[in-house]
Amino acid sequence: MHDIRLIRDNPEAFDAALARRGLAAQSASLLAADATARGLTTRLQDLLAERNEASKAIGAAKAARDEIKAEMLMARVAELKAAIPALEEEQKAAAEAVAATLAALPNAPEADVPEGADEDDNVEVKRWGNPRSAEGARDHVDLGAPLGLDFESAQVVSGARFAYLRGPVARLSRALGQFMLDTHTTRFGYEEVAPPVLVRDHALFGTAQLPKFEADLFAAVGGELTAGAEMGAVDQSDRFEVQAAYAGLRSRLNNERRWLIPTAEVSLTNLVREKILAEEELPLRFTALTPCFRSEAGAAGKDTRGLIRQHQFDKVELVSITTPEQSDAEHARMTAAAEFILESLDLPYRRMLLCSGDMGFSARRTFDLEVWLPGQARYREISSCSNCGDFQARRMDARFRSTGQQKGTRFAHTLNGSGLAVGRTLVAVLENWQRADGAVEIPPALRPWMGGVEAITPVR
The pLDDT profile of the chain, 460 residues, written as one tens digit per residue, is 899 999 999 999 999 999 999 999 999 999 999 999 999 999 999 999 999 999 999 999 999 988 889 999 999 999 999 999 999 999 999 999 999 999 999 999 999 999 999 999 999 999 999 999 999 999 999 999 999 999 999 999 999 999 999 999 999 999 999 999 999 999 999 999 999 999 999 999 999 999 889 999 999 865 555 666 444 333 333 333 334 444 454 555 555 689 999 999 999 999 999 999 999 999 999 999 999 999 986 566 677 789 999 999 999 999 999 999 999 999 999 999 999 999 999 999 999 999 999 999 999 999 999 999 999 999 999 999 999 999 999 999 999 999 988 889 999 999 999 999 999 999 999 999 999 999 999 999 999 999 999 999 998 7
The dotted CATH code for 119-197+261-456 is 3.30.930.10
**Would residue 12 show up in a list of annotated catalytic residues for this protein?**
no
Q: Is the peptide bond before 420 cis (omega within 30 degrees of 0)?
A: yes
Q: Is 211 helix (H, G, I), strand (E, B) or coil?
A: coil
Q: What is the pLDDT of residue 236?
A: 35
The H or E element that residue 249 is part of is helix 243-250
**Would residue 257 show up in a list of annotated catalytic residues for this protein?**
no
Cα separation, 118 vs 108, whole angstroms: 16
Q: Is the peptide bond before 283 cis (omega within 30 degrees of 0)?
A: yes
Identity of residue 165: L
Q: Is 83 exposed, middle or buried (0-12, 13-18, 19+ CB in 10 A)?
A: middle
Identity of residue 248: G
**Would residue 384 show up in a list of annotated catalytic residues for this protein?**
yes
Cα separation, 336 vs 331, whole angstroms: 9
Residues 6+ apart with CB under 8 A from 141: 149, 151, 305, 306
Cα separation, 242 vs 101, whole angstroms: 8
pTM of the model: 0.89
**Would residue 265 show up in a list of annotated catalytic residues for this protein?**
no
Please tell me which residue in 171, 200, 294, 364 is annotated as part of the active site: 294
**Would residue 356 show up in a list of annotated catalytic residues for this protein?**
no
Q: Is 452 helix (H, G, I), strand (E, B) or coil?
A: coil
Please tell me which residue in 384, 386, 394, 395 is annotated as part of the active site: 384
Domain(s) labelled CATH 1.10.287.40 in the chain stretch across 4-104
End-to-end CA distance of the chain: give it in Å, rounded. 52
The dotted CATH code for 4-104 is 1.10.287.40
Q: What is the pLDDT of residue 253?
A: 58
Residues 6+ apart with CB under 8 A from 383: 338, 368, 369, 417, 418, 419, 420, 421
Q: How far is CA 177 from CA 20, 42, 274, 338, 341, in A?
A: 37, 55, 31, 13, 11
Nearest Cα residue to 360 out of 385, 394, 336, 329: 385
Please tell me which residue in 174, 258, 309, 447 is annotated as part of the active site: 309
The H or E element that residue 248 is part of is helix 243-250
Please tell me which residue in 192, 296, 343, 381 is annotated as part of the active site: 381
Identity of residue 190: Y
Domain(s) labelled CATH 3.30.930.10 in the chain stretch across 119-197+261-456
Cα separation, 144 vs 429, whole angstroms: 11
Please tell me which residue in 20, 161, 285, 424 is annotated as part of the active site: 424
